[in-house]
Amino acid sequence: MSEKYTIVIFGASGDLTRRKLAPSLYDLFRKGRMPEKWRIVGLARSEFSDDAFREHIEEGVKEFAKAKYDGKKWREFASNITYLKGDINNLEQLTALDKSLAEWEGDDTANRIYYLSIAPSLYENTIANLGKAGMVHEGNGWRRVVIEKPFGHDLVSARQLNAAAHQVLAESQIYRIDHYLGKETVQNLLVFRFANSLYEPVWNRNYIDHVQITAAETVDVGHRASFYDGVGVMRDMIQNHVMQLLSLVAAEPPASFHAEAIRNEKAKVFSAIRPIRPEDVAKCTVRGQYRKYRDTEGVAPGSNTPTYAALRFFIDNWRWQGVPFYMRSGKALAAKVTEITIFFKRPPHVMFPMPEGTEPAPNRLSICIQPDEGISFSFQAKVPDTAAEMRDVEMSFNYEESFGALSIPEAYERLLLDVIKGDASLFTRSDAIELSWELIDPILTGWDSKYAPPLNFYESGSWGPPEADQLIAHNGYKWSHCCGHEPGGD
């Protein structure tokens, strides 16, 4: 008896399928990483014949796959793809889908992935219907459900979504994708911290002054305005991507590389973060909006939705007590860049003569998540032919230089392969989602209250409101250069 794998994509006519899922599955196929017997079944309400659907997907593959398009390979790949017109709210149609899947599966062990590439408002009903149609029962193979972020709009809705999912599925069947975690540089954080002996001894409050995390976008809200206006930067970027990066930087060493060991440590970080109380938001957070935001079609008149946020968290545990974690994210900023920077403490005493009122720059470790993926460490060096003049210099590692141009796969490729293999390390567990919302909710409440800091307006193409510089300006610190992009420059 052999094993068969089916990937059912709900919402197969949509943007995510065309731009990410199909190209990533094609890339996996080209690398010979798909199982021996597999198929993709797309489902949506739009009318497509199998061939028309394959053509629709082919365009996406040509444009977005990393592997070079090859007609022969494509036809081989496409022969495994079919389409079914259907509505996920319609139980009869789901039952018909189940029947057609079972026909192909026969008596073989049959594993299925249900990928929910649909609007979040449809998640609960779709999962419930999968349950009612008997499609998640793991009798002759596993059943896994992949959910895209956002996982809830706030703590209450996140709890409700988790509870609804758990009515039908075991937690081990749920794979919540945060594509940031599929990026090589993010995965490398664990290797960097725990496969090298040099950094862990100094990775704590004794040596680290503070940590900065930046996730900056150059794009504005564009055609997503009507969606974004009800969401804002805290829900769109901070609650998920940025908080995930924070948990990986701050986690204790997991005892093993197993998903649960890693996810336990990440959850512990969230539970140790000191919540920012609504009455403290003006002290610990900055919110901004780019000037032209309110002119965008789809944005409510006079909207106060923040397109920029900067905040400061403390983690109340032995490792991090007193170390500020500064985070910022925004749209229409000067550069598209995601970076984590660790600022080490300055030396306790400087014996070198320095101009009055100056100090050597602190050692800085910059982990550039995107673009220019790599890591650099800056330290003081003596300027040649001077008595003792010092300058900041860098040692750096760059992925492309070390591993070649094609070394970095699309995040979805890694994540889809992990779902097939059943490795949930890079997926977010229900408790971590809720713990993260427990930290974000009070900030959003504060921003809606009399305690709210002013909404600061900033120019598109800048690095956000200057108030964010004041948030970080203790001991003369500034926001990091961000993978070489000077703050204030481009």
Ligand X SMILES: NC(=O)c1ccc[n+]([C@@H]2O[C@H](COP(=O)([O-])OP(=O)(O)OC[C@H]3O[C@@H](n4cnc5c(N)ncnc54)[C@H](OP(=O)(O)O)[C@@H]3O)[C@@H](O)[C@H]2O)c1
Looking at the Cβ atoms of 150 and 465, the one nearer to ligand X is 150
Question: What are the backbone angles phi and psi of residue 414, rounded to the nearest 5°?
Answer: -60, -45
Q: How far is the CB of 355 from ligand X (least distance, A)?
A: 50
Strand-strand pairing, 364-370 and 337-344: antiparallel
C-alpha neighbours within 13 Å on the C-beta side of residue 16: 18
Strand-strand pairing, 325-330 and 308-313: antiparallel
Write each residue from 12 to 51 as x if it is in contact with ligand X (CB under 6 A), else as -, in one continuous string.
Answer: xxxxx--xx-----------------------xxx-----
Is residue 89 close enough to count as binding ligand X by CB under 6 A? yes
Choose among 113, 137, 142: nearest CA to 41.
113
Q: Is 481 assigned a catalytic role?
A: no
- What does the block give as tokens for 113? 């992935």
Is residue 470 close enough to count as binding ligand X by CB under 6 A? no
Is residue 88 close enough to count as binding ligand X by CB under 6 A? yes
H/E run at residue 381:
strand 374-382
Q: Which of 56, 153, 210, 241 is catalytic?
A: 241
Write each residue from 92 to 131 as x if it is in contact with ligand X (CB under 6 A), else as -, in one continuous string.
Answer: -------------------------xxxx-x---------
Q: Is 141 left (phi over 0), alpha (psi -120 to 50) or beta?
A: left
Stretch of residues binding ligand X (CB under 6 A), selected from 85-93, 396-404, 406-414, 422-430: 85-93
Is residue 11 close enough to count as binding ligand X by CB under 6 A? yes
Stretch of residues binding ligand X (CB under 6 A), selected from 10-18, 248-256, 377-385, 479-487: 10-18
Q: Please tell me the distance from the alpha carbon of residue 356 to that of residue 43, in angstroms, as a whole number.
A: 69
Q: Is the link from the previous residue into 454 a cis peptide, with omega within 30 of 0?
A: no
Q: How far is the CB of 20 from ligand X (least distance, A)?
A: 6
Cβ contact 343:208 at 8 Å: yes
Is residue 167 close enough to count as binding ligand X by CB under 6 A? no
Q: How far is the CB of 43 from ligand X (least distance, A)?
A: 6
- What does the block give as tokens for 109? 């062990």
Looking at the Cβ atoms of 11 and 60, the one nearer to ligand X is 11
Question: Going by C-beta distance under 8 Å and a sequence separation of 6 or more, which residues neighbour residue 199?
Answer: 192, 193, 365
What's the full length of the chain, in residues?
490
Q: How far is the CB of 12 from ligand X (least distance, A)?
A: 6
Among 27, 58, 105, 148, binds ligand X (CB under 6 A): 148
Q: How far is the CB of 94 from ligand X (least distance, A)?
A: 10
- What does the block give as tokens for 279? 């009455």
Q: How far is the CB of 56 from ligand X (least distance, A)?
A: 10
Q: Is 121 helix (H, G, I), strand (E, B) or coil?
A: helix
- Where along the sequence are the contacts to ligand X (CB under 6 A)? 10-16, 19-20, 44-46, 87-89, 117-120, 122, 148-149
Supply the residues annotated as catalytic. Answer: 241
